[in-house]
A and B are shown apart, each in its own frame.
Chain A
Amino acid sequence: MADLHKLSIAELSDKLAAGECSSVDAVNDVLASIDATDGKVGAYLTLDRADALAQANVADERRAAGESDPMLGVPIAIKDLLNVKGQPCTCSSKILEGYIAPYDATVIAKLRAAGAVLLGRVNMDEFAMGSSTENAALGKTSNPWNLDHVPGGSSGGSAACVAADEAICSLGSDTGGSIRQPAAFCGCVGVKPTYGRVSRYGLTAFASSLDQIGPITKTVKDSAILLETICGHDAMDSSSIEMEVPKFADKLTSDTSLAGVKLGLPKEYFVVGMDPEVEKSVRDAVAHCESLGAEIVDVSLPNAKYAIAVYYIIATAEASANLARFDGIRYGLRVDGKDPADLYGKTRAAGFGSEVKRRIILGTYVLSSGYYDAYYKKAQKVRTLIRDDFTEAFTRCDAILAPVTPTPAYKKGEKADDPLKMYLDDILTTPVNLAGNCALSVPCGFASNGMPIGLQIIGDAFQEETILKVGHAYEQTTEWLARKPEIS
Chain B
Amino acid sequence: MSESNDGMDVGYVAKLARVDLTEEEKTLFQGQLDQVLRYVEQLNELDVSDVEPMAHAIPVFNVFRKDEVGTSLNHDDVIANAPSASDGHVRVPKIIDQ
Interface residues of A (CB under 8 A from B): 98-100, 102-103, 194-196, 209-210, 235, 238-239, 241, 303, 306, 308-310, 312-313, 320, 324, 327-334, 336-341, 343-346, 348-349, 352, 354, 357-358, 360-362, 364-365, 368, 370, 375, 377-385, 387, 419-420, 423, 433-436, 461
- Residues of chain B contacted by A357 (CB below 8 angstroms): 14, 19, 21, 25, 29
B53 contacts A361, CB within 8 Å? no
Given A239-B60, A309-B40, also A334-B73 (CB < 8 A): no
- Residues of chain B contacted by A303 (CB below 8 angstroms): 46
Other-chain contact of A380, B15, B22, B55, B95 (Cβ < 8 Å): B55
- Residues of chain A contacted by B84 (CB below 8 angstroms): 334
Other-chain contact of A339, B3, B13, B77, B93 (Cβ < 8 Å): B93
> Taking CB as reference atom, which chain B residue is nearest A376?
B53
- In Å, the complex CA distance between A308 and B37 comes to 12
Which residues between 40 and 74 of chain B lie within 8 Å of chain A, taking CB atoms? 40, 42-43, 46, 48, 51-58, 60, 63, 65, 73-74
- In Å, the complex CA distance between A249 and B14 comes to 48
Other-chain contact of B77, A98, A102, A306, A379 (Cβ < 8 Å): A102
A420 contacts B53, CB within 8 Å? no
B58 contacts A194, CB within 8 Å? yes
Other-chain contact of A340, B39, B55, B63, B92 (Cβ < 8 Å): B92
27 A–B contact pairs at CB < 8 A? A194-B58, A195-B58, A196-B57, A209-B55, A209-B57, A238-B63, A239-B60, A241-B60, A306-B42, A309-B39, A309-B43, A310-B43, A329-B90, A332-B83, A344-B18, A348-B19, A349-B20, A354-B29, A360-B19, A370-B3, A375-B40, A381-B53, A383-B53, A385-B51, A387-B57, A419-B36, A461-B58
B33 contacts A362, CB within 8 Å? yes
- Residues of chain A contacted by B21 (CB below 8 angstroms): 349, 357
Interface residues of B (CB under 8 A from A): 3, 8, 10, 13-22, 25, 28-29, 32-33, 35-37, 39-40, 42-43, 46, 48, 51-58, 60, 63, 65, 73-74, 77-78, 80-84, 90, 92-95
B53 contacts A368, CB within 8 Å? no
Given A330-B82, A368-B13, also A337-B93 (CB < 8 A): yes
B81 contacts A345, CB within 8 Å? no
A271 to chain B: closest CB distance in Å? Answer: 14
> Taking CB as reference atom, which chain B residue is nearest A357?
B19
A387 contacts B54, CB within 8 Å? yes
A238 contacts B18, CB within 8 Å? no
A380 to chain B: closest CB distance in Å? Answer: 4
Most buried by A among B20, B46, B55: B20
Given A312-B40, A344-B18, A352-B19, also A436-B51 (CB < 8 A): no
